[in-house]
Structure 1
Amino acid sequence: MPPAIELSKLTKTYGSRRGLTELTLDVQPGEVFGYLGPNGAGKSTTIRLLLDLIRPTSGTARVLGRDPGADAVDLHCRIGYLAGDFVVDGRQRAGECLTFLGNLRGGVPAARIVELADRLELDLSARIKSLSKGNRQKVGLVQAFMHRPELLILDEPTSGLDPLVQQTFLELVAEARQDGRTVFMSSHIMSEVEAVADRVAIIREGRLVTLDTVADLRARSHVQVRITFGKPVRAAEFAGLAGVRDLVVQGQVLECGLDGTPDALIKAAARHTVTGLRADTQDLEELFHGYYAGHAGRQAASHVE
C-alpha cells in the first residue's frame, strides 16, 4: 500500500520569498501525523499544495497514491479538510450548511451529522453568523469528519475551542485511527498532538527541522535535577559527570540538567547525606520550542562574517 502522503523535495516560492523548501516526508496509512511549526512556518502552504489549491514551484506530492493536480476531483471526495480560516455562508443555519456540504459529497446520513454535533455541543439550529469563533470551528470539524474520509487534513483544528471540546476532538482523531484512517494535523501547539500523534514533523521557515516519533522525542527530553544535602558540597565533585550539564552548586543545593542515565550523579550524591531530591522531566512543549531556538541560533551564526 502506498503512503497516504508522499512528498519529495516539495518547494513553493512566492516571488523572492520561499514558502517551502525541498520538503521530503511521508505519512503512512492509518497514521496520525502531527505537523508542527510557528505561524508562518509553511504549514498551510504544505496543505494547500496537498489539495491542489496552489501548485508547487518544484518537487512532487502524492496523496493516497494519486497526483493532487491531475486527480483532484477523486481525491477531494476521499479527503476531509478543515481550513485554518474555515468560512461558510453565515446566513445558513449550521444544520442546513452541513446537510448541503454532505450532499456535495454524495450524501451524509442526518444521524451522523447529529451525532457529531451532539458530541461537540454544536447547536444545529443556530445561524452561522450568530456563532462564536469556537462554535464556527465546530461546524468545520463536523464537515471534515462526517463522511468518514480516508484521509483527514486538519489545519489548526482546535483554534477557538474550549478545553472540553478539544478533548472530544482528540477522541474523534483517535477513533479515526482505530478505523484505519489517516490524519494529517497541522498545529503550532505541541501538546495538542502529543496525546494522539504517532509521528511529528517540526517545520520552521519552510524547512523541515526534525521528523520523529513522539516516543523518541520524549526520550530525548532532559531532566532538571535539584538535590539538597545535609552539608555544603563542592561543585568540583559533580562537574564533568556523565550526563550532567548546566551545573550550579550553592551551599547545600545542587541543580543541574541531566541527559541519559542518572547513575553517575546518584553515586556521587550518595557520598553525602541527601535531605531532598527533585527531578522534573522537560515536557514536549519545551522540547518543541527548543528546536525553534536551536534552529534560529544556527541561522544567526551562519550570517556572522
Structure 2
Amino acid sequence: MDAAIEAVEITKHFGSTQALHGVTFTVPRGSVFGVIGPNGAGKTTTMRALLDIIRPSSGHATVLGTDSRNAGPELRRRIGFLPGELILEGRITGRKLLQHYADISGPVRTGHIDELAERFHLDLGQPVRKLSRGNKQKLGIVQAFMHEPELLVLDEPTSGLDPLMQQEFLLLVKEARDAGQTVFLSSHVISEIQQAADEVAILRDGRIITVASVEALRQTAVRHLRMTATGIRPADLAGLLGGLAGMAGLVCTAVTSQTGAAATEATATLEGAIQPFIQAVSTLSLTDLVLEEPDLEESVLALYTAPGESAESHRAARATRKVRGTRAERKESK
C-alpha cells in the first residue's frame, strides 16, 4: 500500500535540547495512524516537522508523495491541519472565519460546513472571541475536515471536548477513513487512540519506542484476574499459580483465606495466553473467577518509563525538557 507519510530518521534540536531522536515511521494511505505519548514526548514537534512548519535538524519526510520541505500551496490544500495550540481570529464570526479558510484551502462542498457545525452543535453566527474553549476546538475540527482533504493531521484533537463530542469526533474519523482519507493524529488519551487508530506509534522523550497495531498491543497487554476456590489451602493455591509464571506469564499478587469460610481468594496479573491458566485451574472448585479485559493503558504506560527509571523521576525530567523545548520551538516558529 502507498504511504501517505514517510518519516526517515528525523531529528530536531532546539538549542542544546534535542526534541526528536531519529524518528522513523510510515503511515499507509487510507488508514488512521495514532501517535501517543505523554506531554513533552515530541508529538507536536513531529507533526510540525512533517508539515515543514519547522525544519528538522536532520532526516527527511515525504507527505503525499512530496518532500515536505517543498510543501507549497498545492500540497497544503490536500491537507487538513488542526494544531495543538489553536489560535483563532476573535473579531469575526465562526462562519466568516471558516469562509476565509475555505478560500485558502480550496473548494468546500456546498452545505458541508453547516453539516459539520450541526453535528458538533456549533453556532457559526457567534463571534469567535465569545466561544468557549470547547467550541473553539470544534471550530478547529470543522476547518480541518471541511474541504475533505486527502490527509488529516490532528494534534490533540479532542482537547476541550465533552465526552459526547469526543465520540462524535471519533465517528467523523471513522467516516474519513472509510472514504479513503488518511488520518494522522496525536493524543495522550490511550482510550481515544484505541478506538480510532489502526496502528499506533508510542513516542517517549523524542524516540519511537514501538509501532504496532492496536490489536497487537492488546495481545501483549496485562489482564487482571481474581478467583475464589474452596477445598484448597492458600499455600497450595499460591504454589499452583506460581508454577504458571514462566508458562503463562502469570504473576500472583495476593492469596488470602476468607475469614470464617473454607475459601481461598487470589489476585494475579496475566500477560500471556489464557489457555494454560484455564487448564491449570480447571480441577479446582471455583466459586468465583473474574478475568478483566486486557489493560491496554497499563501496558502503554509501562512503555513511557525507561528501564531503571521511576515514574516520578521520569515525569519530573520530562516536564523540564518540555519547558525548555517549548520555549525554543516558539522562538523558532516566530
Quick one: which amino acid aligns to residue 299 of structure 2?
A: L
CA distance in 2, matches of 1:103, 1:266: 62
C-alpha deviations, 1:98-129, integer Å up to 9, x for none?
01110112342451111110011100100000
CA distance in 1, matches of 2:45, 2:26: 16
Residue correspondence of structure 1 range 1-305 to structure 2 within 5 A:
2-231=2-231, 232-233=233-234, 234=236, 235-241=238-244, 242-243=247-248, 244-251=250-257, 252-294=264-306, 297=309
Q: Which runs of 5+ in 1 are unaligned?
A: none
Q: TM-score, normalised by structure 2?
A: 0.85
CA distance in 2, matches of 1:6, 1:148: 21
| Equivalent pair of 1:209/1:295 in contact (CA under 8 Å) | no
CA distance in 2, matches of 1:263, 1:35: 32
| Equivalent pair of 1:91/1:127 in contact (CA under 8 Å) | yes
Displacement of 1:247 in angstroms is: 4.2
- For residues 106 and 275 of structure 1, do their structure 2 counterparts lie closer, same or farther at Cα, with a shift above 3 Å needed? closer
Moved more, 265-274 or 141-150: 265-274
| Equivalent pair of 2:252/2:266 in contact (CA under 8 Å) | no
CA distance in 2, matches of 1:192, 1:165: 12
Q: TM-score, normalised by structure 1?
A: 0.93
CA distance in 1, matches of 2:110, 2:39: 36
Displacement of 1:221 in angstroms is: 1.2
Q: Which runs of 5+ in 2 are unaligned?
A: 258-263, 315-334
Q: How many residues align?
A: 301
Quick one: which amino acid aligns to residue 65 of structure 2?
A: G
- For residues 133 and 197 of structure 1, do their structure 2 counterparts lie closer, same or farther at Cα, with a shift above 3 Å needed? same
- For residues 265 and 179 of structure 1, do their structure 2 counterparts lie closer, same or farther at Cα, with a shift above 3 Å needed? closer
SS where residue 261 of structure 1 aligns?
A: coil
Displacement of 1:280 in angstroms is: 1.2
C-alpha deviations, 1:157-204, integer Å up to 9, x for none?
000001111111111111110111100001111111211211000101
Displacement of 1:293 in angstroms is: 3.0
| Equivalent pair of 1:52/1:72 in contact (CA under 8 Å) | no
Moved more, 279-288 or 187-196: 279-288
RMSD value, Cα: 1.9
Displacement of 1:262 in angstroms is: 3.2
- For residues 296 and 40 of structure 1, do their structure 2 counterparts lie closer, same or farther at Cα, with a shift above 3 Å needed? farther
SS where residue 106 of structure 2 aligns?
A: coil
Quick one: which amino acid aligns to residue 254 of structure 1?
A: A
SS where residue 202 of structure 1 aligns?
A: strand
CA distance in 2, matches of 1:267, 1:198: 33
Moved more, 235-244 or 12-21: 235-244
Quick one: which amino acid aligns to residue 254 of structure 2?
A: V
CA distance in 1, matches of 2:61, 2:240: 55
Quick one: which amino acid aligns to residue 113 of structure 1?
A: I
Taking only the aligned residue pairs, the percentage that are identical comes to: 44
Displacement of 1:278 in angstroms is: 1.1
| Equivalent pair of 2:6/2:26 in contact (CA under 8 Å) | yes
| Equivalent pair of 2:30/2:182 in contact (CA under 8 Å) | yes
C-alpha deviations, 1:55-88, integer Å up to 9, x for none?
0111111101101112332221110000001111
Quick one: which amino acid aligns to residue 292 of structure 1?
A: Y
CA distance in 2, matches of 1:212, 1:270: 34
Displacement of 1:296 in angstroms is: 6.5
Quick one: which amino acid aligns to residue 245 of structure 1?
A: V
Quick one: which amino acid aligns to residue 304 of structure 2?
A: Y
Displacement of 1:210 in angstroms is: 1.1
| Equivalent pair of 2:12/2:57 in contact (CA under 8 Å) | yes
